[in-house]
Structure 1
């Protein structure tokens, strides 16, 4: 299937594939087009656009997934009493949006004493949209990893009952396993579901040198659209440990990984990779 992509975009490269070149990206030795599997940033001041100017690359933004909120009527069937829980674990802004949407639809008031544990500082700061942000009630890990978030939870877990809101078809098994192993009382309310977008035409008519993923569902969407997808030298970037694991579990080579100590964001990781590639 991916050979068809190359054929649409570059007949010369297609011939190299036909003749047995294993790594198309290395054969061309250029990075010109990058696919970001997220919506286009709302502001032109996004660091993505500065990256594009600095390295003369073309960025294309296309979400690979969309979220569908689970209605309150359907949520009630899970029989989870939100007010009975004293702490909430958030791994994304989407989870925050749908948690407070459900609370509003069900006319649930959240106690001011509720603690919030977030995977990143950015996710934690997003809570300001819904609550009065108090540092003694909002916590996040030091380096955007599950482990650092677990370290923070571990310091405050006594007498807490945890909610981990997540997608109906995507939850972080590492978080669930940790909560079980540490004898935490918890529930995993499903508040939204993830649906793959139709991006087959995009993938079969355009050749990308780099594709960046941000969720395991995004990786799943790739194969939902192109079941026989072959990497053929395309570099793959992934944000988050779960996304990285999904990339590798799918049999793909992971080239760009974020967050990292010197690359806390995907755009920072891309900049490091492009700078190193430019020196070659």
Structure 2
């Protein structure tokens, strides 16, 4: 194993505390950490939203598929000075989203629905279809259609969509990307950022790590080899999985 300092792209904001596991790994294994989020989301302006000719108040319910969508939807509601009625309904793709929703509304005065089997698309569809008299609005990320609309295509549910935010990729050069020995991905959007900046990207000898099954699936479908994967029962975090990889690599070099 080479003793040179190896460079790791960690697509997250730099941790404020020096006791982060990342810094401990860097010291022990000779790593140079580069904290650089590969993308961020930007709320559309009120004018950009109005250009879509969508009237939120002509709907009786909203379908919220993620915490990101929820954040930007309510930011737009505020920017538009729109007051959602007391009987407005909220259909959340998971309990996690439903709990996050409490940051924006008073739960006891609203009606919230989510699947008991967390993340179950079939259960979510069943819940929505039970309320087929509602006029649903599905907020989305610009140029990225949600799976919900396709899921409800063959039902009697009335659904319309609107964009509430767009994704902004980090400005990277092919040379910067090639300079890393390790690329870590925490979302499929990270791969999109790399491909946008470097359409001809080839993995070569780079070590790739990922968080989440969806991220892993996208990486493998793109023909990339994933060396480090989290969470697992043994390695619940990216740092734990990275440490295990480095330990095994060190043993193999002896």
Which residue in the other structure is 2:176 paired with?
203
Is the CA contact 1:117–1:149 (under 8 Å) kept in the aligned structure 2? no
2:204 maps to 1:229: no
Is the CA contact 1:31–1:210 (under 8 Å) kept in the aligned structure 2? no
Q: How many residues align?
A: 241
Structure with the largest fraction of helix: 1
Which residue in the other structure is 1:11 paired with?
none
Rate the CA distance shift 1:96–1:158 in 2: closer, same or farther, 3 A: same
Alpha-carbon distance in structure 2 between the residues aligned to 1:93 and 1:276: 31
Is the CA contact 1:91–1:118 (under 8 Å) kept in the aligned structure 2? yes
User: Counterpart of 2:73 in 1: which secondary structure?
Assistant: helix
Which residue in the other structure is 1:67 paired with?
41
Unmatched tracts of structure 2, length 5 or more: none
Alpha-carbon distance in structure 2 between the residues aligned to 1:64 and 1:82: 31
Alpha-carbon distance in structure 2 between the residues aligned to 1:191 and 1:236: 30
Structure with the largest fraction of strand: 2
Q: 1:53 aligns with which of 20, 24, 30?
A: 24
Which residue in the other structure is 1:252 paired with?
224
User: Counterpart of 1:38 in 2: which secondary structure?
Assistant: coil
1:77, CA displacement in angstroms? Answer: 2.4
- 1:59-79 residue CA offsets vs partner (Å, 9 max, x unmatched): 532111233322122212222
Is the CA contact 1:238–1:247 (under 8 Å) kept in the aligned structure 2? no
Rate the CA distance shift 1:209–1:29 in 2: closer, same or farther, 3 A: farther
- 1:166-215 residue CA offsets vs partner (Å, 9 max, x unmatched): 2112233x333212144432222111111221122773463232421314
Q: Which has the higher contact order (CA 8 A, sep 6+)?
A: 1
2:163 maps to 1:190: yes
Alpha-carbon distance in structure 1 between the residues aligned to 2:3 and 2:158: 52
1:128, CA displacement in angstroms? Answer: 2.4
Which residue in the other structure is 2:191 paired with?
219
Q: CA RMSD in A?
A: 3.7
Alpha-carbon distance in structure 1 between the residues aligned to 2:149 and 2:231: 21
1:131, CA displacement in angstroms? Answer: 1.1
Is the CA contact 1:117–1:153 (under 8 Å) kept in the aligned structure 2? no
User: Counterpart of 2:14 in 1: which secondary structure?
Assistant: coil
1:32, CA displacement in angstroms? Answer: 6.2
TM-score, normalisation: structure 1: 0.68
Which residue in the other structure is 1:18 paired with?
none
Unmatched tracts of structure 1, length 5 or more: 1-26
Alpha-carbon distance in structure 1 between the residues aligned to 2:39 and 2:144: 12
Is the CA contact 2:174–2:198 (under 8 Å) kept in the aligned structure 1? no
Alpha-carbon distance in structure 2 between the residues aligned to 1:31 and 1:175: 45
Q: 1:268 aligns with which of 221, 237, 240?
A: 237
Rate the CA distance shift 1:125–1:259 in 2: closer, same or farther, 3 A: farther
Rate the CA distance shift 1:156–1:226 in 2: closer, same or farther, 3 A: closer
Structure 1 residues 76-115: aligned runs within 5 Å: 76-113=50-87, 114-115=89-90
